[in-house]
Structure 1
Amino acid sequence: MTSALANEADPYILPAPTPDSPVVLPQWISPGNTHPNSRYRDPVWSLAPLIDNPGTSLVAIHWKNCPASLRDEMKLVTWALINGERRPTFLRTKGLSARGRGSAPTMMQKYYEWFRLARWLHQRGISRLADCTEDQWRAYAGERRDEGISRVHAEMVFGYFTDLWVYDLLSARPAGISCPPWETEGIDDYLPAADGADTAENSTEPLDPQVLGPLLIWALRFVDDFAGDILAAWEEQRRLMDVAASNTATSASRTALKEYLLPLVNSGAPLPAAHVKGRLYLARDYVAAHTGATHAQIERLVTRYKIQDLVLERPAPCPLNVTVTGEIEGRPWREHISFGEATTLMQHLGTAAAIVIVYLTGMRPQEVQALRSGCCPDPDPTTDGTTGRHLIRSHHFKNVLDDNGNHASAGEVREVPWVAITPVVRAIRVLERMVPEGELLLSAAHHDVHRPGGKQHQGAIRRTSLNRRIESFTVWVNREAEVQGLTGQAIPEDPYGAIGMSRFRRTLAWHVARRPGGLIALAIQYGHMRTVLDTRTSSGYASRSRRGLHSVLDVETALAAADTAARFRDRAVAGEKISGPAARRAVTTAGQAPRFEGRLVPKTFAKKATAFLARDGVVLYDNPDAFLICAFKHDNALCEPEPGATAPRQYACKSGCGNTVRTDTHAHQLRSRADEIDELAGHVPGPIARKLQANASRLRETAATHDATAQTIEALT
């Protein structure tokens, strides 16, 4: 009775579950979540009732993975994890980011570690959690630490073990597991030594420019040039498949089939073939649609005349009745689209559209996965008759909390919409033609083109699947580039690994910060993005206030500026002379600028980067297209930066600006570029040649001015 009264008085203690108790209690399931709820007695517990994010995999707990001797106790504490809330008194000891409840994926991470511990205990003959004493905690922590995990990962894992103790105390029948010793002694002595490789730091590398350039070119080709042909071919292919499926076996259909196939068999002519899972087969649906025969009739004929062997020897494409209008390099990109090929092209079209959106918006992958048809309506005309910007209204998920301060799986509609530039709008319009109205643009069910009408998947295509599709897209592009004679547009391997959805956001910031003149495709679009990003207004691009892509851009810009200062300092120390109205300011700045070693970026660096860039007049920006360094001072700038901008509009650099700095290296580059222009001028018509030669002369004059006015670093300090 005393225990019952204590439990009743303590709102954090959960009631004891029965075999029929739901795995997820009703109060934790959102009204729109329709996923089936498991029962306590079930061998598999689905956590889908806790998942409302369309980009999150529907995970489940499989109790067969837990040792039988510890299963009952682990079920109770895991049920407490799913339905309980950690006490506020405990959370106050864990910092501001600690939450009473976590997300389903986080619960799964804890469950994996708990089961791993359970198997370790079972191997040592321990069959009760209460027997996991301080000695066992120390031994297991030492083994887990020595497995090669990083310091930050180890701290997270040991926190999961602390939660095993915490949630056990929330159970109506606690198993009595002891408090891990690091909770009283401190955790430092249990962690691996810091080695600078912790995964909690942002070590995601941007895509190499030589990779991103052709990848983006081909993605835009699909969206802008190929989409109409592919969608029309897909519709025609589905029509033929529907016709084939509705055929009825008759003597007339059998006769038509023989009259169609047997002359091809007997004459040695090629036979209609299609690829299925990478292998050639007789295009049965194509043949059925053109003859009225059923699959059974076709199969009997194939077996009787051994047609499958003949197909492998002499396959023929099956052209769809669709006129190809798209072009590549000024010529049609296909004579026709074949039956079966439309399936592959549809998958690549969806992948291409996703690449365009994720890269040219700066969205996180899960934000792209949450986009729905209708998210980017055409803007209404403004009062002056011009057309406003396209805005994307959708959900974001990172750090979104419910009214109780816990993780909200469904996210929330972003207060400030994303601004969509033209290529993004086109990509969205293509995806809207691929899914029903109001559906997720990357709906897994509608993008499973290899099995139309088959198993209906939940939510959006998962990130791992999107990553595999990008790899497949790259393989197709490289094969097509060779066929089209465009080997210079093939996509090379990235030096830092596979192309994945998570790398595009970092890459956008990298290229805006470091390739302002556009050394890869869409230079104008990069310039447009930089302009919008610099406004820092409430309608800013891809951000909520100063968060979102602004912080990523600030990090990349700060790193780029520090690299510029370091190179400038090294050149000056090596004896190069310096010219320009901001030369003295640049020398002082370079002497004080930090030098960043390596590529790891701590999470705390974003605020430091913003503060670093806000120092008007003492930040150096490289502009390789203008052959200069800009010691950006807002009031001096002739590039007309937006009010409050902390970086120049490098693509709008103007001569005579008071922020200009040049070194001997820049002068050499100016002359080299002038020589290249002169060589080009010798191969073009007269009027164009004269303009090019005038441009080359201006570059040489700029180099000569540098030579006449440049000073050493000693003279400037």
Structure 2
Amino acid sequence: MTTAPAEADSYVLPLPGPDTSVVLPQWISQGNTHPNARYRDPVWPLAPLIDNPFKELEALHWRNCPAPLLAQLKLVTWTMINGQLRPTFAKRRGVSARTRGSAGEMGENSREWMRLARWLHKQGITDLADCTEDQWRAYVAHRWDTGSMSHESAKRVCSRLTLLWAFDQLSALPAGISRPPWDIEGDGDFVPAADGSSGQENSTEPIDPQVLGPLLVWAIRLVEDFADDILTAWSEKGRLTDKVNATEPTPEGIAALTELLLPQVRSGAPLPSNRTRQPGALALTYIAALTGATRQQVSKFGSRHGLTEVVAHRPGPCPLHVPVAGRINGRPWREYIDFYEAAELMRHLGTAALIICLYLTGMRPQEVQAMRAGCCPDPGTDGDATPRRHLIRSRHFKNVINDDGHPVSAGEDRGIPWVAITPVVHAIRVLERIVAQDELLLSAAHHDFQHGRGHHGALKKTTLNRRIEDFVVWVNQEAEAHGLPEQVVPADPHGAIRMSRFRRTLAWHIARRPGGLIALAIQYGHMRTVLDARTSSGYGARSRRGIHSVLDVETALAAADTAAHLRDRVAAGEKVSGPAARRALTAAATTPRFEGRIVPRTFAKKAAKFLARDGVVLYDNPDSFLICAFKHDNALCEPDSGETAPRQYACQQGCGNAVRTDMHARQMREKADEIDLKASLVPEKLAKRLRRNADHFRKMADAHDATAQTAEALT
């Protein structure tokens, strides 16, 4: 009698050999041409797993792993790269757990494992099997002591270490590392206490309004006023450079150099200088283009006549002979564009378009990076000749998985498009003039204006963040040069301006600045209308996900702040007027106060539920000097069916949702005084109109004083 052979475990991979591919073919998508490596190689690129054009190409460097533990760690890492966890393992860890991670997650896992290996080696441990419960406990205690580690970050570290044990179980030759104790007991006793910090986008601080205002003004100015000048100058620079590259040395070139440069030297005039290099560099390419000489001829001529010393003391411009049409306050923004300035201006133009797209669409940074030329075609018209909205059709990446539940690096086409308002369309059109059709709008190859190195994919996050910082420096230089101190971008109190902050800032301004304390205020109001449509014809997201959840969170926080401020003012003795005064006081008394800015993952659903309470949510409208106790059926701003917030930019006098306090009355009188002051400085016809407006504010303030009541009288 014979025994049937045991069925092979499909989750355990065969043992790799020295020449085995690091990434097996079944995990490499069609069209991915990144180089693979062999098992014995000292560097393992994870690029064959990366189809995302804006992701950094991960690689694992085995020099960072101590030699005694190298073989064991290599095997478990290879198993992670090419295998997948058992579904039972993932199921026990919640709905978000996956049997296979992304390339970025694999890289983070492996680097954490190498960090553990280095610590074990220092403890004299040379076999993963000797990493017992005591070592696990000691390691995480050491890990938290090496620097500030938030609660969420520590949980991620514990999860990565658990995966080391899990994938070791699936390797063809398990090292026998023990199961971490937190996987048995829970991580509550192993990680630092929660301090409210998290990596979720809702906890990201919005950009300060005083920062965003001038930043957006200059971004739109570049795209709409200066783009033609910059693109024309860049084209001319390219033409001249190509001309120089094709030039052959001739005696006529030397003669032209003599005729151009020596009279300037004798007269004491400045010489054309390449200011992008060390001070005093002769503008070789520019001079060659002017004279028909080669760069080598210009260089030798300069050395022979001592021009390097001359240009160091008398550096001069290299003007491109192209028209400058852009204006600031009615005056040309440049007398000319310099040959060596064109690349910098192109970089800032691309950054300006990026800022507009990030802020005025609500797209995530990676979704903006994934846009391609042609993604926002001009729409047709409906049967009544009404123009349709511009729509952006592109890819999204968050939580995109395949049928097996594995992350899809390339993302997927978004089923519902984004809506593009006019400034965004202009920004996309500018980017389309920089790249070829169907190319990524932020292609690294096309946007490397200085060096033209032909990098793969889109510009990466670190590069774009650095370009935003450079753009701010340039803006402030321009504002000073043009005498516009009010358009200087101040330092943001919450730190550097990063791409991740724009999306939250859009929601912040829609919820808190409906009438406009910064540029494009009316567009914010229209954006809320678009975002609240929640249909396939509006801004795209299924149900209330995506930007809707961010908007709901910020709106709920703003409404809670409004209720708290109303409570505080009434408690201080202020009176209240308006048809919705009694309802507003009841709502203020029952609305929770949010202390701090902690916004956990679960708050988005709570925010949506909070905002759905028709009639008891309070919205501050500082431009109309009132609070809106929004009740859909009473609203004169004509909100669409299903909207949970007013169209604050369309606030109407006499609305049944209006509430005013004594503070609003004081503000209206102050506004009236301000308008009267302006009226004294303008022609009489305009002054009469301004005074009528001031009288209107005073009448509304008087109406409040005549009808206002205390909280005790109303409740």
TM superposition score normalised by structure 1: 0.97
Change (3 A) 1:480 1:534: same
The answer to whether residue 673 in structure 2 is matched with residue 675 in structure 1 is yes
CA contact (8 A) 1:538 1:545 kept: no
Secondary structure of 2:445's aligned partner: helix
**Deviation digits for residues 392-447 of structure 1, max 9, x if unmatched?**
00000001111101111110100100011111111001000101111100000110
Moved over 4 A (4+): 277-280
Secondary structure of 1:281's aligned partner: coil
The answer to whether residue 333 in structure 2 is matched with residue 333 in structure 1 is yes
Aligned match of 2:432: 432
Q: What aligned pairs does 1:207-218 form with structure 2 within 5 A after superposition?
A: 207-218=207-218
Q: What aligned pairs does 1:158-307 form with structure 2 within 5 A after superposition?
A: 158-200=158-200, 202-277=202-277, 279-307=279-307
Q: State the AA in 2 paired with 1:71.
A: L
Q: State the AA in 2 paired with 1:406.
A: H
**Deviation digits for residues 552-574 of structure 1, max 9, x if unmatched?**
11101000000000000000011
CA distance in 1, matches of 2:613, 2:607: 11
2:551 to 547, 550, 553: 553
Change (3 A) 1:465 1:360: same
1:651 to 635, 641, 649: 649
Task: Give the drift of 1:198.
Answer: 4.0
The answer to whether residue 684 in structure 2 is matched with residue 686 in structure 1 is yes
Aligned match of 2:700: 702
CA contact (8 A) 1:256 1:291 kept: yes
Aligned match of 2:124: 125
CA contact (8 A) 1:67 1:122 kept: yes
Q: State the AA in 2 paired with 1:214.
A: P
CA contact (8 A) 2:201 2:504 kept: no
Q: State the AA in 1 paired with 2:409.
A: S
**Deviation digits for residues 458-478 of structure 1, max 9, x if unmatched?**
110001100100110110110
Aligned match of 1:400: 400
Change (3 A) 1:308 1:402: same
Secondary structure of 1:45's aligned partner: strand
1:617 to 602, 615, 618: 615
CA contact (8 A) 2:636 2:651 kept: yes
Deviates more, 1:254-263 or 1:165-174: 254-263
CA distance in 1, matches of 2:384, 2:432: 30
Aligned match of 1:87: 86
Q: State the AA in 2 paired with 1:79.
A: W
Task: Give the drift of 1:305.
Answer: 2.6
CA contact (8 A) 1:555 1:609 kept: yes
Task: Give the drift of 1:280.
Answer: 4.8
Task: Give the drift of 1:81.
Answer: 1.1
Q: What aligned pairs does 1:528-567 form with structure 2 within 5 A after superposition?
A: 528-567=526-565
Aligned match of 2:487: 489
CA distance in 1, matches of 2:42, 2:532: 55
How many pairs are equivalent?
Answer: 712
CA distance in 1, matches of 2:280, 2:445: 26
Aligned match of 1:501: 499
CA distance in 1, matches of 2:183, 2:507: 40
Over aligned residue pairs, what C-alpha RMSD do you find? 1.5
Change (3 A) 1:541 1:200: closer
**Deviation digits for residues 160-217 of structure 1, max 9, x if unmatched?**
1110011111111111111112222222111112222344574210000000000000
CA contact (8 A) 2:234 2:346 kept: yes
Aligned match of 1:345: 345
Deviates more, 1:81-90 or 1:294-303: 294-303
CA distance in 2, matches of 1:586, 1:23: 64
**Deviation digits for residues 105-127 of structure 1, max 9, x if unmatched?**
11111111111001101112211
**Deviation digits for residues 351-393 of structure 1, max 9, x if unmatched?**
0011111111010000000000000011122211222111100
Change (3 A) 1:5 1:38: farther
CA contact (8 A) 1:201 1:603 kept: no
Task: Give the drift of 1:607.
Answer: 0.5
CA distance in 2, matches of 1:138, 1:313: 66
Change (3 A) 1:170 1:279: farther
1:457 to 455, 458, 472: 455
Change (3 A) 1:502 1:278: farther
Secondary structure of 1:419's aligned partner: strand
Secondary structure of 1:190's aligned partner: coil
CA distance in 2, matches of 1:200, 1:506: 11
Q: State the AA in 1 paired with 2:644.
A: T
The answer to whether residue 68 in structure 2 is matched with residue 63 in structure 1 is no
Structure 1 stretches of 5 or more lacking a match? Answer: none
Task: Give the drift of 1:309.
Answer: 2.3
2:638 to 627, 640, 654: 640
Secondary structure of 2:116's aligned partner: helix
The percent identity for this pair of structures is 66
Secondary structure of 1:408's aligned partner: coil
Task: Give the drift of 1:523.
Answer: 1.4
**Deviation digits for residues 135-158 of structure 1, max 9, x if unmatched?**
211111211133331122111101
Aligned match of 1:583: 581
Deviates more, 1:282-291 or 1:687-696: 687-696
CA contact (8 A) 2:534 2:540 kept: no
Aligned match of 2:35: 36
Task: Give the drift of 1:686.
Answer: 2.2
